[in-house]
Amino acid sequence: MITRRLAIAVILAGVVGASLPAQEGAGDLDLYYRFPLSLGARYESVNPYAAYGVQFNVYGIGAVAIVPLPRAPRIQPFLEMTVTRFDAQDPDEAGRWDHSSFSVLAGPSWMRRLSREFELGGLLGVGGGLTLFPDLVEEPVGYGTVSAAAGIKLGLNPTYNFSVAIEPRFAYHSALAELDRFDGVSFSIGLSAHVRFGEDPDSAANAIRAMRFSNVEVPDLFAAMQSYYASNPFGSVVLENTERAAAEEVVVSFFQPGLMDTPTVAAEIGELRPGELVTVPLKAVYNSSVFDLEGITPLSGEIIVSYRFRGRPAEQRQTVGYDLHDKTALTWDDDRKLAAFITPADSAIRNYQSALMRYTRDAAGDEISEAMRAAITAYVGLEELGIAYQADPTSPFVAVQQDVYAVDSVNLARDTLRRVSGDCDDLTVLFATMLETVGVETGFITVPGHVYPVFNTGVPASRFDLLHPERSMTINVDGELWVPVEVTLLGTADFRAAWRRGIELYLEYGGDPQVSGFYRTADARSIFRPVGLRQTDLGLQYGDDGEVRRRYTGQITAMVDTVLDALERRAAERNRSRDYNRLGIAAARKGRFSRAEAAFTTALRLDGDYVDAQINLGALQLARGRHALAVLTLQDLAVRLGRDESASPRSLATVYLNLARAHYELDEFGPAAEYFELAQGIDPERAAAHSFIAVVQESDGGRASQVASVSIPFAGDE
């Protein structure tokens, strides 16, 4: 009973095991560890199910030969010869019914190798034999038998050439005679030991070495280029198949223990013919640990080639030595690499720029674009902090830029802030990072011996005069104006001087791609992603907020004066109402209300019927917060223009919008809605920005924020 239970448990375990997937690569293991011939000895204990009438001890001893199919080694035909001994346990019957059965069993077996040491399978066999009773009667009695068997095998392979197995099986025996007492089904558990012929593929003598490595080229690598190496080759190796048969399913990988989670596949080759050479470019996917290294670290990596050769899997490895530079190092063979050091995700830089923006928020009116405000704020903030230009004494940019193989050091923005100095590439990275943290698009310009930042103001190219009266002071990129900044002037010149020097350098080389380059950070970063960094508080003192605000206000005032002075000079030269009206609009938008009023008044002095200037005097009163006065002025204009059939619809819509806005500010929501509907009927596109007027607002705070977010419309501001 115990034996039967054990057998059932073994069979169930075998069935379950056969249904489970083998370990990775097990499909190859059967071919890899195949053998031509196995010879073994077998012992089995037999439990008959038939009622023999006498208790017998039944056991068998035999020999087994197994010959796997060469191309399908899982299928293993076998031949088994066994002598089975029946010994009666009843003393009264002792000797009479004792007999031996000589049998031969043959058939297929199927074995699946689960690992190098374990295999699982089953067998089916049929055969026949001779049963001999020496003492049943006076003369020996014998008769022929036929038999069939089915079972499973659980194999253990301590070595390639030696295997042991446990073999539970069921068998059926039938006599070819009238004596059928021993016919029927039996169950046995066998133990076998086998000697397998062939050569161990894992032995040094039989290791497959079809590949020859040559021309291995792995230069110095740089942690900052981590993302680049994942999709772009950093080196190469030449492989040659030196055997007389083809290598198949060739996979070439590169692996750096400790800095890579898995080998990086460089190439997959279906077949490499005998004598064929192939050059394989190498790639590497380093993990974040690469950013923890400092200085230059000598490393030993591995080039791994796995393949199949004559049906057997093989693997070869070639060790390669190289130096890995830390995340501050790079070479200038591609200027776009600088983008990898611009790290807008750095919380310390974001906090610093945000603090500076808070310092200048109240001082910044509606004078210039948000991007220009951020740039001036960053510049004056760095001035107040004492950041200064200092050439790198070991590798000045002017020297390393000319030698694409020279290794340069570029500091991250946080490190430059901590050191309070840096060379041109350090300061470029710092300034661009600060702007990127608040959403300003940046780039950088390279000229011989120098690099400096540039940023997108967001101002349309047609409105260059909002930034500077000279069109040449800005760079038109896809219809938007960009401004370069020579940041090495920090501490020696103000923002306007740094801007002018930046444009001078750009114009000096004429944007010639042979000697200079203009790179948008976003484009370069798609190839060279930002390096990883450890988010830690720098413990910075952000500078005196009052001093930052004073510097910022001075720069804004000077820029506004530059723009308005140029417009006033042009208006005086032309002496036309239109030019003075344009000056007045610019002055009003930049908060210079007195100058705006003088300009509109001059326009009306030159032409008393100039409607745009009349409308804009009312809009100016609205801008100054004189809402009731604005209503009186604009209502009179609305009546006159409404009666004038030659009046411009756009001018009338401007009057209605400003009247709606003035009533809205006075909490007169009924008239505000009426004037808004009139404006909407004339110019729905322009009125759309003021749609909040049509909704009654009970919250003064909410109403104020909506009004402030929409510019007051002026006539002639096209």
Together in a domain, 12 and 127: yes
Together in a domain, 521 and 589: no
For residue 189, the surrounding DSSP H or E stretch is: strand 184-196
Residues 592, 594, 599: CA angle, nearest 5 degrees:
95
How many other CB atoms are there within 10 angstroms of residue 127's CB atom?
A: 19
How far apart CA 112 and CA 29 sit, in angstroms, is: 9
Which among 325, 350, 376 is the end of a domain?
Answer: 325
What percent of the chain is predicted at pLDDT more than 90? 55
Give mean pLDDT, residues 190-208: 84
Give the pLDDT of residue 90: 75
pLDDT tens per residue, range 486-504: 999 998 999 999 999 999 9
Give the pLDDT of residue 14: 46
Residue whose pair of structure tokens reads 């043959």 in the numeric block: 106
Together in a domain, 603 and 622: no
How far apart CA 94 and CA 548 sit, in angstroms, is: 116
Together in a domain, 122 and 32: yes
Q: Is residue 550 part of a domain?
A: no
Residue 403 CA, chain-centre distance (Å), reads 31
φ, ψ at 119 (rounded to 5°): -145, 155
Together in a domain, 174 and 315: no
Q: Is residue 549 part of a domain?
A: no
Computed over every residue of the chain, the mean pLDDT equals 87
How many other CB atoms are there within 10 angstroms of residue 188's CB atom?
A: 23
Out of 216-220, 254-258, 310-314, 706-710, pick the least confident. Answer: 706-710
pLDDT grade for 178, boundaries at 50, 70 and 90: confident
Q: Is residue 203 part of a domain?
A: no
Q: Is residue 381 part of a domain?
A: yes
CATH number at residue 301: 2.60.40.730
Count of the separate structural domains present in the chain? 5
Together in a domain, 470 and 588: no
Higher per-residue confidence, 160 vs 362: 160
Give the pLDDT of residue 18: 44
Give the pLDDT of residue 366: 59
Give 259's DSSP letter: T
Higher per-residue confidence, 49 vs 484: 484
Give the pLDDT of residue 591: 85
Together in a domain, 372 and 415: yes
pLDDT at 654 > cutoff 70: yes
pLDDT tens per residue, range 534-559: 777 767 777 788 899 999 999 988 88
Name residues whose C-beta falls within 8 Å of residue 646's C-beta, 6 or more positions apart in sequence: none
How far apart CA 126 and CA 171 sit, in angstroms, is: 9
How far apart CA 435 and CA 416 sit, in angstroms, is: 15
Give mean pLDDT, residues 49-65: 86
Which among 149, 164, 196 is the end of a domain?
Answer: 196
Q: Is residue 468 part of a domain?
A: yes
How far apart CA 496 and CA 356 sit, in angstroms, is: 19
Q: Is residue 316 part of a domain?
A: yes
pLDDT at 2 > cutoff 90: no
Convert 615-664 into a string of H (helix), E (strand) and C (coil). Answer: HHHHHHHHHCCCHHHHHHHHHHHHHHHHHCCCCCHHHHHHHHHHHHHHHH
pLDDT grade for 85, boundaries at 50, 70 and 90: very high
How far apart CA 293 and CA 221 sit, in angstroms, is: 12
CA atoms within 13 A on the CB side of 295: 3
Give the pLDDT of residue 256: 95
pLDDT tens per residue, range 229-251: 999 999 999 999 999 889 999 99
How far apart CA 153 and CA 109 sit, in angstroms, is: 9
Give the pLDDT of residue 394: 60
Give mean pLDDT, residues 581-591: 89
Together in a domain, 221 and 190: no
Q: Is residue 355 part of a domain?
A: yes
- Quick check: pTM over 0.75? no
Together in a domain, 486 and 503: yes
Give the pLDDT of residue 13: 46
How far apart CA 661 and CA 464 sit, in angstroms, is: 29
User: Are the beta carbons of 187 and 152 closer than 8 angstroms?
Assistant: no
pLDDT grade for 156, boundaries at 50, 70 and 90: very high
Together in a domain, 510 and 622: no
Give mean pLDDT, residues 663-668: 90
Together in a domain, 529 and 400: yes
Higher per-residue confidence, 32 vs 420: 420
Q: Which domain holds residue 618?
A: 610-718
User: Are the beta carbons of 308 and 316 closer than 8 angstroms?
Assistant: no
pLDDT grade for 22, boundaries at 50, 70 and 90: very low
Q: How far apart are the first and last CA of the chain?
A: 103
pLDDT grade for 336, boundaries at 50, 70 and 90: very high
Give mean pLDDT, residues 696-716: 65
Give mean pLDDT, residues 445-459: 93
How far apart CA 431 and CA 429 sit, in angstroms, is: 6
Give mean pLDDT, residues 630-659: 87
How far apart CA 711 and CA 589 sit, in angstroms, is: 8
pLDDT at 17 > cutoff 50: no
Give the pLDDT of residue 20: 45
How far apart CA 714 and CA 248 sit, in angstroms, is: 76
pLDDT grade for 467, boundaries at 50, 70 and 90: confident
Out of 106-110, 234-238, 352-356, 401-405, pick the least confident. Answer: 401-405
Q: Is residue 555 part of a domain?
A: no
Together in a domain, 218 and 146: no
Give the pLDDT of residue 703: 55
- DSSP per residue over 519-564, as a string? EEHHHHHTTSPPPP------------HHHHHHHHHHHHHHHHHHHH
What percent of the chain is predicted at pLDDT more than 70? 89
pLDDT at 60 > cutoff 90: yes
CATH number at residue 408: 3.10.620
pLDDT tens per residue, range 603-619: 999 998 899 999 999 99
Which among 275, 299, 325 is the end of a domain?
Answer: 325
User: Are the beta carbons of 455 and 342 closer than 8 angstroms?
Assistant: no
Give the pLDDT of residue 404: 60
Give the pLDDT of residue 19: 46
